[in-house]
Chains A and B, each alone.
Chain A
């Protein structure tokens, strides 16, 4: 048997040599361990308290094998941390005290092979630097600028044409005058154009129209804030939260289903996730002015407000509220109720607030004028079927059944009555 193997070896000496070298190379760094298997085990057993790069409930695991003096002890620690603590190991006890005496869960079911797999995954993951996002900022030529450029161009062209027209008119009148002189017809002394009554009347009418247009438009706009986009104390991007990370609007604005107000979330709701997420790793953010925004620094602002220490993982200072700037504001003489529109009316948030999931900075999408409200109430069909809220309108239900009307609008159930919103 042995001889046969050795003959085989001699035959395939080179290939065996290559295989051996390859094996040594791959095994030299760590003892046998399969990082892909380790990753699955890590996510199943360890990841709820540990991360390779970041400290969570337990320490960051990068370089964990170098920190433990004895590999056997590390295995024992993972199998049953209490027994290592009881043995009086100095490093283990220091670790235990550092993490507020939170005991690590015992994993007696993990075999030594499993632990080697996990350690090899940690080693591999630890060597790969934490993913840093170096996406190049997208081209941010704002559409507004282009429009402004076009406007300027058109203005200049109009001006040039007007000057040309004026010159031509002047030439025309001069030629007329010359022709009249030649024929010997006496022409009256020309009236300068600024004393010409027709001109003056024209200018007055034009100015009145233009001035009136601006006055009335401006007066209508008084107290309305469409497109208002204030700078908020923290650069909170709805695009990142509701768009990229798919957090439901109601997760933070839980009041939209229950009360008049959609609710600006309190800071504890931010901290539900940001206890763990302390660094921003998404695409580069920009303010409306085109300035770069450091996402992680903005998260730090949240920590400063709530008094959270991200290294110690606890609240160390008293919090102070974040003073968000209110965007949408209806005066007190209008009653608006979010829950009525969201629950009974089954309206989507985006109907009134626009494409929130694409806004880094939120602006007011609708003008919130009365005309805007009424228009929607006139055209929107209420979900009449299977909606207990409208069961009281028996007559309409009958008419729908008989086929006299095909749908019921908000107006038909009293949506344009004055005292529905003003009382």
Chain B
């Protein structure tokens, strides 16, 4: 009786010490151990799977519900000026465009579109090139098509945002930017849904620039 209990104790102590010892390294650099790790590595097409995550979809694949591909090349800026927004966007979509703009663009271009986001901060931020002022000035006359084009391919020091934003999101952002540029003067009179929600209206210079058709 005594012997079995001794053995039991010894077994409990040893296994306890072993199990707790193999879980952490110094500063928790070690992930610890798994029993039955067979379901930890997914066999399915998963993002982190080493075998298949780097596979690209078949050429020409269009995701379900996604807009059709954009065929212009990076240098086709003249044609890009003429591209029309394929979506019919309401007020909620422009609000969504504003939200997306503040996440993806506002960090450089500023949430007021004045080219003074937290990464630039009047030249004191880490980003040493001045981002474009989208609210007024030469960029304020860009058409939605051109804005979409720049988001897709990047321009000068700006990179492409096609991997972060799908086509629909990019069009929503383009529509939002267009709706608040030049103090909202870009939007034609019948469809000016976002102009009222615009906070930059008061500060942006009210310059009316003829739009390229």
Residues of A within 8 A of B (CB): 39, 43-44, 47-49, 51, 53-54, 56-57, 200, 204, 207-208, 210-215, 217-219, 221-225, 227-231, 245-248, 250-251, 254-255, 258, 260-261, 263-264, 266, 268-269, 271-273, 275-277, 280-282, 288-289, 321, 326, 329, 331-333, 363
Contact = CB atoms under 8 A, between A and B. Distances in A.
Contacts of B128: 51, 53-54, 56, 276-277
Given A214-B19, A215-B19, A246-B107, A332 B42 contact: yes
Interface string B135-160: 00000000000000000000011111
B7 to A, nearest CB: 11
A53 to B, nearest CB: 8
Contacts of B206: none
B131 A48 contact: yes
Contacts of B47: 255, 260-261, 263-264
Interface in B46-60: 46-48, 54
Contacts of A54: 128
B20 A221 contact: yes
A272 B130 contact: no
Q: Which 6 A-B pairs have CB atoms at the shortest separation, nearest pair first? A: A218-B19, A214-B16, A47-B130, A211-B12, A272-B159, A215-B16
A280 B126 CA distance: 8
Contact of A48 (B19, B107, B157, B165): B157
Given A251-B104, A261-B47, A207 B28 contact: no
Interface string B26-54: 11111111110101111110111000001
A231 B29 contact: yes
Interface stretch (B116-124, B170-178, B183-191, B196-204): B116-124
B61 interface: no
Interface of B: 2, 5-6, 8-9, 12-13, 15-20, 23-24, 26-35, 37, 39-44, 46-48, 54, 102-104, 107-108, 118-119, 122-123, 125-133, 156-161, 163-166
A218 B159 contact: no
Interface of B is mostly: loop
20 contacts: A47-B123, A48-B156, A57-B157, A208-B8, A208-B9, A211-B13, A215-B12, A217-B20, A221-B20, A222-B32, A223-B32, A223-B40, A227-B28, A228-B32, A251-B103, A254-B165, A255-B47, A268-B160, A272-B161, A277-B126
A212 B27 contact: no
Contact of A229 (B15, B29, B130): B29
B119 A273 contact: yes
Nearest to B30: A228
Given A245-B126, A251-B107, A277-B127, A49 B32 contact: no
A281 to B, nearest CB: 6
Given A47-B123, A269-B164, A277-B127, A230 B12 contact: no
A212 B17 CA distance: 10
Contacts of A47: 123, 129-130
Contacts of B118: 245-246
Given A49-B156, A211-B16, A219-B19, A332 B44 contact: yes
B160 to A, nearest CB: 7
Contact of A276 (B8, B17, B42, B157): B157
A48 B132 CA distance: 7
A333 B42 CA distance: 9
B16 A228 contact: no
A326 B35 CA distance: 18
A204 B129 contact: no
B100 to A, nearest CB: 9
A350 to B, nearest CB: 16
Given A48-B157, A212-B16, A224 B32 contact: yes
Nearest to A248: B103
Contact of B159 (A219, A271, A332): A271
A219 B40 CA distance: 17
Contacts of B129: 47-49, 51, 56-57, 276
Given A207-B13, A254-B165, A332-B42, A222 B35 contact: yes
A287 B31 CA distance: 18
Contacts of B163: 254, 266, 268-269
A254 B164 contact: yes
A388 to B, nearest CB: 11
B13 to A, nearest CB: 4
A255 B9 CA distance: 51
Contacts of A245: 107, 118-119, 125-126
Nearest to A57: B156
A267 B35 CA distance: 34
A226 to B, nearest CB: 9
Contacts of A43: 122-123, 130
A250 to B, nearest CB: 5
Contact of B39 (A200, A222, A333): A333
B158 to A, nearest CB: 7
Contacts of A57: 129, 156-157
Contacts of A222: 19, 23, 32-35
A321 B39 CA distance: 25
B133 to A, nearest CB: 8
Nearest to A222: B35
A275 B8 contact: no
Contact of A223 (B35, B43, B157): B35
Nearest to A208: B9
Given A56-B129, A221-B20, A268-B163, A230 B158 contact: no
